[in-house]
Amino acid sequence: MFKKINHIGIAVKNLGDALSVFQDTLGMTCSGIEEVEDQLVKVACLPVGESKIELLESTSPEGNIARFIEKKGEGIHHIAFEVGDLEGVIEDLKRKGVQLIDQKPRIGAGGIKIAFLHPKSTKGVLVELCEHKDQD
Ligand code: ZN
C-alpha cells in the first residue's frame, strides 16, 4: 500500500533561518519555494535521494504550522507516504476504523493529491498520504 516516504515535513518559524541550516550548513539543495494558500504555509522543498525534506513556515498566526510551533516548538511535523490509488487507500483505512483529517483527497504542494490521517489513529504521528501514479 505504501510505496516509500515521499517527504518529511518540518515546522519552522522562518524559512530563511531554516534554509541557512539545511542548505548552507547541511549542504542540501532547495529545489523551490511554494506558497500553498489554503494551508496557510510557505513550503521549501529539499530533495534527499528519493525523498524530500519540506520546510514549512506559516503565513498566518492562525495556521496549523503556527499553532503546532506554539504548542511543541519547531521540529518534525508530519511524515508523508506515497500511495498509488489515494481514494482506494482512504476507503480501505476508513473501513479499518482509522480516523482521517481529510475524508477525501485535496490538492497539496506541487499540485498532487494528498490526505492527512488523524494522529490519534497513528500513535501521535501526523501521517500524510500523497498520490503518485506510476507513469505508463
Ligand atoms: Zn507534507
Predicted confidence at residue 133, as pLDDT, reads: 72
Distance 97 CA to ligand 1 centre (A): 23
* 116-126 mean pLDDT: 96
CA 9 / ligand 1 centre spacing (Å): 5
Please give the distance, rounded to the nearest whole angstrom, from the Cα atom of residue 42 to the centre of ligand 1. 11
Q: Does residue 97 sit within a domain? A: yes
Residue 43 included in any domain: yes
20-46: average pLDDT: 95
Specify if 112 maps to a domain. yes
Residue 56 maps to a domain: yes
Q: Quick one: average pLDDT of 108-121?
A: 91
- Gap between the Cα atoms of 32 and 47, Å rounded: 10
pTM of the predicted protein model: 0.92
The answer to whether residue 38 is domain-embedded is yes
Distance (angstroms) between ligand 1 centre and the Cα of 24 equals: 22
CATH of the domain at 96: 3.10.180.10
Domain presence at residue 136? no
Domain that holds residue 101: 2-131
* pLDDT value of position 110: 78
The pLDDT value given to residue 109: 79
69 or 136, which is more confident? 69
Average of pLDDT values for 126-132? Answer: 95
Question: Nearest-CA neighbor of 32 among 3, 54, 9?
Answer: 54
pLDDT value of residue 136: 47
Neighbours of 56 (CB within 10 A): 26
Rounded Cα–Cα distance for residues 87 and 107 (Å)? 13
Query: Cell 549542504 identifies what position?
Result: 27
Average of per-residue pLDDT across 44-55: 96
- Domain count of the chain? 1
| Mean pLDDT rounded to a whole number for the chain | 94
Do residues 81 and 5 lie in contact, with contact meaning Cβ atoms separated by under 8 Å? yes
In a domain, 34, yes or no: yes
